[in-house]
Structure 1
Amino acid sequence: MSEVLRRAEIARLNDRLRTGGEGGSIFMSAGIAALPVDLRDAIIRAVRQFSNFNTDNDPHGEHDCAVVVVPGYRIIWKIDYYPNDDGCADLDPTDPATTRRVITIMLAEEY
């Protein structure tokens, strides 16, 4: 697979998790969890709807991290990759069979 196609597939899988909660786990930091429910909902909505990827915030084209602003709060979301099993399986972010995605949504000051 060419590097361009590889990155496009990683971005597709990352977008699937970020926008629809499919293909991985979603975690929010203690700071986000402590916010009122309506504010948490607005933050999750902002992360799901984010589409302003560019070379400054997504230099590798993988849609794996960005910053969103919800009035009064700067939010960072980041997707990390882990082996799909507890052993030392080879990690391939283009292969959901070997890779578990985890998106973490946090206040910028928690990063």
Structure 2
Amino acid sequence: MSASGSVHACSPDRQQPGSTMADKAPEIRRLNDAFRRSFIGGHVVLTSGVAALAETERRALLRSVRAFEAFNSDNDPHAEHDFGAIDLEGAKFFWKIDYYGPDMQSGSPDPSNPEVTRRALTIMRAEEY
């Protein structure tokens, strides 16, 4: 997430010669799941709307993000487990994992390679999207 609060998309041309993103999806999914479940191995960013929640609500939301398993072809078309939507006490929240290069300024050239990828998990109210 940039200083302005916007989420950067990763480079659309992340493919390495001889491989496709579909070939890399299982490893990307594994890395994303490990990060999302533990919050270890990347940056977790809470938007101002999430940060403003009461502590008990914020903790419940973070537990829901960690436990999320409702992936389907609509919310996970590339099978990378990089997005989810959660309803919590009548409010809708989104979480999204983005892939950055080591400088955290550019997109990762290969999200399946932790040596060249830094993950950022952003958790936001749906209306902040």
Give me the CA root mean square deviation.
1.9
* 1:30 pairs with 2:48: yes
Correspondence for 1:105: 123
Higher relative strand content: 1
Aligned residues: 111
The question of whether the paired residues in 2 share the 8 Å contact of 1:7 and 1:62 is answered with yes
Structure 2: runs of 5 or more not aligned? 1-18
Per-residue deviation, 1:86: 6.0
Per-residue deviation, 1:85: 2.8
Identity %: 45
Q: Equivalences for 1:88-99 in 2 at 5 Å?
A: 91-99=109-117
Using structure 2 for the length normalisation, give the TM-score. 0.79
The counterpart of 1:62, out of the listed 55, 80, 86, is: 80
Per-residue deviation, residues 41-85 of structure 1 (Å, max 9, x unmatched): 000011110001111110100000110111121000000111113
Higher relative helix content: 1
- Output the CA distance in 2 between the equivalents of 1:45 and 1:67: 13
Using structure 1 for the length normalisation, give the TM-score. 0.91
SS in structure 2 at match of 1:106? strand
Correspondence for 1:13: 31
Correspondence for 2:8: none
Correspondence for 2:5: none
Per-residue deviation, residues 9-38 of structure 1 (Å, max 9, x unmatched): 001111111111121110100000001000
